[in-house]
């Protein structure tokens, strides 16, 4: 007797849980019909700023069967990164919580590879690819389609029991599985994220102008930050958590259990003065394996100077 799709799906979810993922949802690898006009509008409005890579692989972003040959299912996974402690000096330049510890790309890639190996060992010849936020995959759309949450007005994925401080990743495989149903939207009339955004980057509910977002300015933008945004950064030097921090659903966030996400011991205790005088050696030491390396020492000091001047 052949094992049912639902049994395979249950086993995959159980293994994902054992590997430390917060949750796992599965959807059919199909064209993302609703996302197509939305992505096109966003790109046509130049809301991606200097992130020209967002214009590439338009078809692949919307259709996983072009990205992964013969794909049948998208397995979406969430991994919690909410820290137990935050930076101690309230006046110091701030780093987005997701970047406190070891770069999540490495940690999640290893877990995804382990999950794919498990699927191959348990089920047989299954081909697939792992994706962590660095390929043309619309992570949030797939996670929402797989029932893991809904896309909030700040355009992040939200889940009732756990909020939004988690990473999203996918395995796209050529195996038919049992598919989950999307959940409902629970933002209601709340506009906390829209009201709190320091640069008014949330131009309307569910639409974020990436080219006005503090995360974009402090991470993606390689040129000088436009002077018109002086005094609007709320002390963020790498990324920004404002729209998540004010979201009522994040009252339910619980600390992660992943030791590799714990920050370098020095990071949380650094004062405003420490940051303003940071040397390249300290940068290398504190951010040895961190996602902050992406902005380089020159980028981080540019951001700190922008906050100070």
Return the active site residues.
133
The beta strand positions in 134-226, using DSSP E, are 150-151, 157-158, 166-173, 202-204, 207-208
Check: CB of residue 152 under 8 Å from CB of residue 164: yes
For residue 308, what are its two tokens? 């100070």
Is 44 buried (19+), middle (13-18) or exposed (0-12) by CB count in 10 A? Answer: exposed
DSSP H or E segment with residue 131? strand 128-131
Torsion of CA 88, 93, 94, 99, to 10 degrees: -100
Beta-sheet strand order (sheet of 73-80): 23-28, 73-80, 166-173, 128-131
Please enumerate in sequence order all residues whose Cβ is within 8 A of that of 72, keeping only pairs 6 or more positions apart, or say none: 28, 29, 173, 174, 175, 176, 177
Please enumerate in sequence order all residues whose Cβ is within 8 A of that of 94, keeping only pairs 6 or more positions apart, or say none: 87, 234, 235, 236, 237, 238, 241
For residue 85, what are its two tokens? 């402690």
Q: Is the dihedral of CA 254, 105, 152, 93 positive or negative?
A: positive
């Amino acid at each position: 007797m052949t094992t049912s799709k639902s049994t395979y799906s249950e086993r995959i979810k159980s293994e994902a849980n054992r590997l430390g993922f917060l949750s796992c949802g599965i959807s059919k690898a199909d064209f993302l019909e609703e996302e197509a006009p939305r992505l096109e509008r966003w790109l046509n409005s130049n809301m991606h700023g200097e992130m020209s890579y967002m214009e590439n692989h338009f078809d692949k972003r919307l259709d996983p069967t072009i990205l992964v040959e013969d794909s049948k299912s998208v397995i979406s996974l969430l991994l919690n990164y909410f820290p137990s402690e935050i930076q101690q000096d309230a006046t110091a330049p701030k780093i987005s919580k997701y970047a406190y510890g070891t770069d999540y790309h490495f940690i999640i890639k290893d877990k995804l590879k382990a999950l794919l190996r498990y699927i191959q060992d348990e089920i047989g010849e299954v081909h697939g690819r792992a994706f962590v936020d660095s390929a043309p995959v619309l992570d949030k759309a797939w996670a929402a389609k797989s029932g893991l949450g809904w896309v909030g007005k700040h355009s992040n994925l939200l889940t009732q029991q756990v909020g939004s401080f988690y990473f999203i990743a996918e395995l796209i495989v050529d195996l038919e599985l049992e598919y989950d149903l999307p959940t409902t939207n629970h933002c209601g009339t709340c506009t906390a994220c829209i009201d709190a955004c320091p640069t008014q980057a949330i131009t309307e509910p569910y639409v974020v102008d990436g080219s006005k977002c503090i995360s974009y300015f402090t991470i993606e933008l390689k040129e000088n930050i436009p002077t018109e945004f002086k005094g609007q950064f709320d002390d963020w030097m790498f990324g920004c958590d404002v729209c998540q921090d004010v979201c009522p659903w994040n009252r339910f966030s619980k600390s992660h259990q992943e030791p590799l996400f714990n920050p370098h011991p020095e990071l949380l205790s650094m004062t405003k003065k420490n940051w303003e005088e940071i040397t390249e050696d300290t940068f290398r030491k504190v951010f040895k394996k961190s996602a902050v390396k992406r902005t380089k020492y020159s980028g981080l000091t540019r951001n700190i100077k922008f906050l100070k001047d």
